Chain A
């Protein structure tokens, strides 16, 4: 991608932030908060998630068998099942059904799968009138726009915008203003269409293979009308919607509304076993009483769509995408999505973090490449996803596959600097960020010269020109004396009778840039009688992984494990300051290393405050730590990946125990996310997110602002006028709280 293209992308993102960002943010934040509240009311949220995960794994594994089972049962009741290879095949079949019924009016309820195949356009080309009856979809049909969210397609439209649209398009004598008026108007218009329709078309959230029952999760009631008012019902659904049995629906029903719109359950869960056991209400003969015998006149077609799904099923990395129940939780929790919506963070059809998997599978890598950089890997969606899909990993894999297709005129410039393991064709910027480790080493070795050079205007321009780093960002200031140097050169502080023995992992940032927090961590641990060593251990692989450089990340993971294993063998625990590196050890190493090696480092690695919390809980004396005077307030932003690991509470608990009055931010991520905020086309978005976070943190005018992640500290420091530090810099002995 050229710098000009990136500038165009930046302009498009800015435009969407201005036009749609506020309303998308208001609505997604509502959904997201609703989700937290709603799942908290469940007795056992994790158990339900495990159940749906297990059911989806089993269903996708047995998919060919389930397809045959559903075909058999639907046909035994007189219905038809068609397995469509691709969009064109599905559209051709639906058009044939319309033709055979001599149908020229179709009403539809909301279905992303029919958006995927563009059935409306196809049928309209064949002279069939198609009307969307979901109010959000109808607004978009009237406005001729694309959905911007999986479950709330018109989430980017405010009441005022819809009011203006209706008043203009329908040339109304009396303008419609309130949401009630708009709803009433739409209901009446659409009721006329539903009554006259020859065919009703729906999607399906789930289909049970044992009975051929379609589960439709809705709130308006239009899907109910669409399915039973016309005598012919066509349901179009991806093959992945099949579940083994009706009983399997229960945990899905309990989770889908909570995960999506934050409701315990939506107004209607239709469990339709076609042909429906409902009389045909024939509005062409309005005075003929409804006749129970007309239930026999119903016709039903189930179109099961492949369109790349069976290939995704064979793909070890993309398969998880098929577990997606399209609830939209990954969009709602995502800071980038909250600020730009699905018109930027989405492909041909699908939106949000999981869209990368869907678009890569059903459209191709090119489509996924357009937007998948908007996933920063913050991992907040992993916890929100009811099916526990590792959405950041899918994005990483797709990025890796996209990378191998990129070439650049500047390859020669980075080649010598970047000893990565990637096979050619990688964009210079990805190489630069992916190779942060050699750069950091070079930066420290040549500091302060490296910092002076980086700060010069020509250098900033070169970075923008070659590496497409926004010139408004300050680059990290490398320290000549690294943390490893400092520990090696000081007098020995090993306690004679240690409470614990640890290796403090010198992550790249702590070692080369934020050295003070490393020193504070050493002082804190030693004040608790811990025997601390800080050996020279390689970078965790987080930097290359975030650029989709999986081979390089794997090489780093192996090197880290080689270095740490003998130390673990010696009985030491690993203590990690940087949460994104701990998340590598605990999560991503599973994907990069053999199981036994990954398990070892997973079990013995701890976040700094998690470890301190454990020591204090075990009765280690905290007297040596710095305590605040009375009424000192702290606003704390925990790192995104730290929160996903469930480790925010430990820092809060330690700070409170020492006497601080702690408030925490509920902004999911700082928006910097490693390298994301440096990139030319994402700088404005990143800063927009940070402004929200800074607003939260400074709202109560706290005495201190603290954050655990390097990115968060840099981001908060560069956007606001505060100087955040890591919490260890407050509590380590010798600090001044």
Chain B
């Protein structure tokens, strides 16, 4: 248990160093935290956990027009502790565009989906890619470019990324 705690702490520390704040909370409180963090309009991928819900105002299955004008996109994600990275698995209900198009991406992460290292994350992805044809993005910090002469956060992707990390038994 103490080892798990340490890699969770490591994830939080590294993520914040990457400019991505981590908000730790209980499973029951995720919807409230989302309401606070989501700048409207919000589009979202349905969350895969039974008692973890989206705020009512979030639009699931948006139209392309809604997706384009949304300020916030909410998706579930995994994480990689040693790099403070998010692991965003592509899904048919649109995790990829929803984590990419809006200015702000809010990732909801179950503590048990935090991999300690890039090595363990890659080891888990191998079978998923081979057997299920899975795609995933390892996202570290907001999108960025240095191509315009200086470092700018917010290039083609989100400018702000926030993480809600929840714990507790189902």
Interface segment, one of B3-11, B22-30, B49-57, B62-70: B62-70
CB distance from B95 to the nearest CB of A (A): 8
A29 contacts partner chain B, Cβ-Cβ < 8 Å: no
- Is B100's CB under 8 angstroms from A277's CB? no
A71-98 contacts to B, CB under 8 A, are 77
CA separation between A213 and B136, bound complex, in Å?
10
A477 contacts partner chain B, Cβ-Cβ < 8 Å: no
CA separation between A249 and B120, bound complex, in Å?
12
Interface size class of B (residues with CB under 8 A): 35 or more
- Is A159's CB under 8 angstroms from B129's CB? no
Encode contact with B along A329-358: 1 for CB under 8 Å, 0 otherwise: 000000000000000000000000000000
Please, which residue of chain B has its CB at the minimum distance from the CB of A250? Answer: B122
A168-184 contacts to B, CB under 8 A, are 179-180, 182-183
- Is B141's CB under 8 angstroms from A267's CB? yes
- Is B152's CB under 8 angstroms from A268's CB? no
**Chain A residues near B155 (CB, 8 Å)?**
135, 183, 187, 219-222
Interface segment, one of B34-42, B86-94, B106-114, B162-170: B86-94
B138 contacts partner chain A, Cβ-Cβ < 8 Å: yes
**Chain A residues near B123 (CB, 8 Å)?**
247, 250
- Selected from B63, B64, B129, the residue in CB contact (under 8 A) with A208 is B129
- Is B148's CB under 8 angstroms from A186's CB? yes
CA separation between A656 and B45, bound complex, in Å?
62
- Is B94's CB under 8 angstroms from A278's CB? yes
CA separation between A250 and B141, bound complex, in Å?
19
- Is A286's CB under 8 angstroms from B157's CB? no
CA separation between A543 and B83, bound complex, in Å?
46
- Is B130's CB under 8 angstroms from A246's CB? yes
Given the interface pairs A253-B122, A265-B83, A272-B135, the reply to whether A152 lies near B147 with Cβ below 8 Å is yes
Given the interface pairs A267-B140, A271-B138, the reply to whether A152 lies near B146 with Cβ below 8 Å is yes
Interface size on A, residues (CB 8 A): 71
- Is B122's CB under 8 angstroms from A247's CB? yes
CB distance from A716 to the nearest CB of B (A): 33
**Chain B residues near A269 (CB, 8 Å)?**
137-138
Given the interface pairs A286-B64, A290-B64, the reply to whether A221 lies near B149 with Cβ below 8 Å is no
Please, which residue of chain A has its CB at the minimum distance from the CB of B130? Answer: A211
CA separation between A253 and B139, bound complex, in Å?
12
- Selected from B62, B118, B138, B149, the residue in CB contact (under 8 A) with A157 is B149
**Chain A residues near B136 (CB, 8 Å)?**
271
Given the interface pairs A271-B136, A287-B65, A289-B62, the reply to whether A183 lies near B154 with Cβ below 8 Å is yes
**Chain A residues near B138 (CB, 8 Å)?**
253, 265, 268-269, 271
Q: Please, could you name 8 A-B residue pairs with CB atoms under 8 Å apart, sorted by A?
A: A179-B150, A249-B122, A265-B138, A268-B138, A271-B135, A274-B135, A281-B64, A281-B67
Q: Which residues of A contact B (CB under 8 A)?
A: 27, 77, 133-136, 139, 152, 154, 157-162, 179-180, 182-183, 186-187, 190-191, 195, 208, 210-211, 213, 219-222, 224-225, 228-229, 245-247, 249-250, 253-254, 261, 264-274, 276-279, 281-283, 285-290, 292-293, 295
